[in-house]
Amino acid sequence: MDCSYDLSLEELCTKISLCDALIVRSGTKVGRDVFESSRGRLKVVGRAGVGIDNVDLAAATEYGCLVVNAPTANTVAAAEHGIALLTAMARNIAQADASIKAGECFKRLLNLNSDLRNCDVKCRNVVVCRQMDEKQVCRCFTCGEDSCCSWFW
């Protein structure tokens, strides 16, 4: 097993001839030249995350290489990040940060006298896409908010 980062195309093509499998993120392009360099040894390319647009599927098929991805691998983290952004908005975190950096008093900006169920943002408008829908909505409901959901497919 070899764990390498920031390889140039030439370095990847050199190393790939010793590999049976390759796991990549979106930044690594797996083109025909990579499959040619593997000389048929490469059996599977795993894409961590959504999409496989960085892999040449025609070349993979031609060389008998399976291409797979993990589209739901980071949906929980993405949903939690979305809720964190909504919470930061409800608590005026960005304004408080700017106030602190300017040397001003920030306490008036923060909604510290109420919890998120009673803050000024009474209805969370959650825009959800594909797998994140249920996770984000569930997290909003656990905060006691009325959630308005827009479904985009």
How confident is the model over 51-97, as pLDDT tens digits?
Answer: 899 999 999 999 999 999 988 777 777 777 877 887 788 777 888 88
Domain boundary among 17, 46, 69: 69
What is the structure's pLDDT at 152?
43
Domain boundary among 69, 90, 116: 69
What is the structure's pLDDT at 50?
81
Listed residue (2, 65, 1) closest to 30, CA to CA = 65
18 and 87 housed in the same domain: no
Q: How many domains does the chain have?
A: 2
Query: Is the distance from CB of 121 to CB of 89 less than 8 angstroms?
Result: yes
Tokens of 97: 């940060």
Domain that holds residue 13: 9-69
Rounded to the nearest angstrom, the gap between the alpha carbon of residue 114 and the centroid of all alpha carbons in its chain is 31
What is the structure's pLDDT at 108?
63
Prediction pTM value:
0.57
What is the structure's pLDDT at 151?
45
Angle between helix axes 132-142 and 75-90 (nearest 10 degrees) is 40
Band (153; pLDDT cuts 50, 70, 90): very low
